[in-house]
Chain A
Amino acid sequence: MNRKKITRGNTIRRSTRKWFPLFLGPVVCAFIIGFVWPFVQGIYLSFCQFKLIADAKPIGFGNYVRAFKDAAFAHAFWYTALFTVVSLVLINVLAFTVAYVLTQNIKGSNIFRTVFFMPNLIGGIVLGHIWSMIFDGILSKFSTSIVMDSKYGFWGLIILMCWQQIGYMMIIYIAGLQAVPEDMLEAARIDGATKSQALFKVTIPNVMPSITICMFLTLTNGFKLFDQNLALTNGQPIVMQEGGAAIKTTEMLALNIFTTYNNSSPNAHGTAQAKAVIFFILVAGLGLAQLAYTRKKEVQQ
């Protein structure tokens, strides 16, 4: 099978090969500039002390030690993790519910779908400012504001992300639900299954692939969140800890790395880069777990 495939593609392969500079050249160059080189340099700089990249000097694991000792970074990690779990559960449950309802031959389901998806087109920064105005408008009635209490900031961001992402996940769930074989559902009905039995025993097992995709998407989206976090609260309110460390209570990992880099201390750049590497390992770990998991699923099917 494999051999046959190799011989079959030969005509195209032989004639195309010499066109390497035209077909691959531009992308390879851009890829090196935009990804490979910055990535390699980033790893190297995480072991250096530097203000300007030109005069970086290697200092071993000092940056990583500083990153792990940083109370604000640890706080950002747990805050991000908590935010991700809560948003993951809420977004997926609500998106699945909406998708399920919309696939039940409801009148005007196209209009509903259009409206629910709309927030996805608006960028994170703009979304953050829109919602900060709305939350402040509500909270000002109680003479407070979204940056006064970290609880407001947390739930505000959850509401914002639900508003934005439910529509996106709903689209994926609708595609999954429409692929559930109709005759399977009919067979269940004839065998006397109730609606909820059909949902839990037939529909949900059949849309498992969509559920997996949405779970991992919301998981990585939550971890990587930056724009909305910056625009909605920018980490405020700030709490001073004993020992003098200032903690931005609603700051997530990506924003923490960004603010660390803009700090004026001589180690700030290196520490920020070390944090970025730790952040990368976290996100990549989640992403690769997703790939491995989907692969396994595909093999089983």
Chain B
Amino acid sequence: MNSLAAERRGKTILTVILSVICVIYVLPVVAVLINSFKLNTFVKTDTFALPTGEMWAGMDNFIKGMTFGNYPFWNSVKYSVVITVLSTALILIGTSMAAWYIARVDSPFCKALYFLCVFSMVVPFQMVMFTLSNTADQLKLNTPWTIPVVYLGFGAGLAIFMFVGFVKSIPLEIEEAAAIDGCGPVRTFFLVVVPMLKPTMISVGILEIMWVWNDYLLPYLVLDLEKYRTITIHIQYLKGSYGTVDLGATMALILLAIIPVIIFYLTCQKHIIKGVAAGAVKG
């Protein structure tokens, strides 16, 4: 009886400790929130104070950040969304089809391709960044509507790896039954295989969204920066530019950038955590 009470007390103490750590964990995000409404001069000196009285900047930081460098912030939002949505869709469709073909046909060419994909997963981006941006430039892949091809090429490895692993675990009988009933490979794939692939699609999709949305170096090197900037590139321009850095405006933009991410996280939390666990265990 006594040890039970002790255990319960122990758990209560743990809950309290964890709650404190949780609050500390959220603090950086809270700091962004309060500093995005603070006048630039006070961000450095009174980082942890509430933006009251003379420190209050109202919406000034947001207006400054969104018009910085004569580049409208909403364009970068638009391009970030376009790039993320198109790339993820292209990767999901392309690699799931390829993975099914690789797993089912299993010819020497497929084996070689699969090996190359696994190999590409261990190649760091720095190895190909100069040549890739050059190739992309020549092939006019430097716009938000064509850069998904680059993402499909460089990011195919993990997606194919995960899809092939899953297709191999699907019993062949289902597809054979469909074939006997007169389904061609295309219909078999889209009507029979794709519905079964759904959980893996969600996992892969989440991993790709997280990667593409937050990616900096690849779009920075590939895109035509005069015309197209993603949110991340825009923020880096604002903060990384020489001369006086407007911290208040930077924080305002960062706040705008992470609000959709946090909403996305809170709504799809279960899938995100499952997807991450699946990707990590297999990768």
Residues of A that sit less than 8 Å from B by CB: 8-9, 11-13, 15-17, 19-20, 22-24, 26-28, 30-39, 41-42, 45, 53, 101-102, 104-108, 111-126, 129-131, 133-134, 136-138, 140, 163, 168, 171-172, 175, 213, 217, 220, 223-224, 226-227, 230-231, 234, 254, 257-258, 261, 269, 272-273, 276-277, 279-280, 283-284, 286-288, 291
Our pick among B141, B149, B262 for the contact of A118 (Cβ within 8 Å) is B262
- Contact: B160 with A122, CB < 8 Å? no
Query: Would you call A122 and B214 a contact (CB within 8 A)?
Result: yes
- In whole Å, how far is B101's beta carbon from the nearest beta carbon of chain A? 4
User: Are B18 and A121 in contact, CB atoms less than 8 angstroms apart?
Assistant: no
Closest 10 CB pairs of A and B: A34-B153, A137-B47, A123-B214, A287-B122, A23-B101, A38-B131, A30-B153, A38-B128, A280-B127, A27-B98
B58 CB–A CB distance under 8 Å: no
| A-B interface contact total, Cβ < 8 Å | 282
Chain A, Cβ-Cβ closest to B261 = A121
Known contacts being A19-B101, A137-B44, is A35 close to B120, with CB within 8 Å? Answer: yes
Q: Are A33 and B153 in contact (CB under 8 A)?
A: yes
The smallest C-beta distance from A208 to any residue of chain B, in angstroms, reads 13
> Can you name the residue of chain B whose Cβ is closest to the Cβ of A8?
B172
- Given A27-B97, A140-B44, also A129-B250 (CB < 8 A): yes
Would A134 and B104 be within 8 Å (CB), given that A8-B172, A36-B116, A227-B216 are in contact? no
Q: With A123-B216, A125-B232 in contact, is A35–B179 under 8 Å at CB?
A: no
Q: Mark B134-163, 1 if CB is under 8 A from A, else 0.
A: 111001010000000111111111001000
24 A/B residue pairs, CB under 8 Å, sorted by A: A13-B104, A13-B106, A20-B101, A24-B113, A26-B94, A26-B97, A26-B152, A27-B95, A27-B152, A31-B117, A35-B157, A37-B135, A38-B135, A108-B15, A112-B18, A115-B22, A117-B276, A126-B257, A131-B28, A134-B31, A224-B124, A258-B126, A280-B127, A284-B123
Main SS class of interface, A = helix
Q: Are B160 and A27 in contact (CB under 8 A)?
A: yes
Which residues from chain A contact B258 at a C-beta distance below 8 Å?
A: 122, 126
Within 8 Å by CB of A124, from B95, B118, B216, lies B216
The reply to whether A129 and B120 contact each other, CB–CB distance below 8 Å, is no
Known: A121-B265, A126-B232, A171-B276. A28 touches B113 (CB 8 A): yes
Q: Would you call B66 an interface residue if the criterion is a C-beta within 8 Å of the partner chain's C-beta atoms? A: no
5 additional contacts, CB 8 Å, given A27-B160, A39-B127, A137-B46?
A: A15-B184, A35-B153, A106-B11, A140-B44, A213-B281
Q: Are A138 and B47 in contact (CB under 8 A)?
A: yes
Residue B191 CB within 8 A of the other chain: no
Stretch of B68-76, B196-204, B234-242 contacting A (4+ beta carbons < 8 Å): B234-242
| CB-CB nearest in chain A for B160 | A27
A211 and B108 CA atoms in complex are apart in Å by 35
Interface residues of B (CB under 8 A from A): 11, 14-15, 18-19, 22, 25-26, 28-29, 31-32, 35, 43-48, 94-95, 97-98, 100-102, 104-107, 110, 113, 116-132, 134-136, 139, 141, 149-157, 160, 172, 175-176, 179-180, 184-186, 188-189, 210, 213-217, 232, 235-236, 239-240, 247, 250-251, 254, 257-258, 261-262, 264-266, 269, 272-273, 276-277, 280-281
Residue of B nearest to A110 (CB): B269
Decide: B141 and A33 in contact? CB cutoff 8 A. yes
- Could you tell me if A27 and B186 are in contact, using CB atoms closer than 8 angstroms? no
Given A34-B149, A39-B123, A53-B134, the answer on whether A107 and B176 have CB atoms closer than 8 Å is: no
What are the residues of chain B within 8 A of A115 when measuring CB–CB? 22, 25-26
What distance in Å separates the Cβ of A211 from its nearest Cβ neighbour in chain B?
12
CA A265 – CA B265 in complex, angstroms? 45
Q: Kindly report which residue of chain B lies nearest to residue A40, judged by CB atoms.
A: B131
Closest approach, in angstroms, between the C-beta of A69 and any C-beta of chain B? 20
Closest CB in chain B relative to A38 CB, distance in Å = 4
Kindly state the separation between the CA atoms of A22 and B188 in the bound complex, as whole angstroms: 14
When A11-B179, A112-B22 are in contact, do A226 and B11 touch as well, CB less than 8 Å?
A: no
Q: Which of A34, A106, A163 has the most CB of B within 10 A?
A: A34
CA distance A273 to B25 in the complex (A): 39
CB <8 Å contact, A273 and B11: no
Minimum Cβ distance to chain A for residue B201 (Å):
16
Point out the residue from B31, B101, B216, B277 that lies within 8 Å of A171, measured CB to CB.
B277
The residues of A that contact B119 with a CB separation of less than 8 Å are 284
A16 to B152: give the CA distance in the assembly, Å.
23
**Cross-chain contact B25 with A116 (CB below 8 angstroms):** yes
Task: Tell me the nearest residue of chain B to A53, going by C-beta.
Answer: B134
Contact call A171/B273, Cβ cutoff below 8 A: yes
Least CB distance from B193 to A in Å reads 10
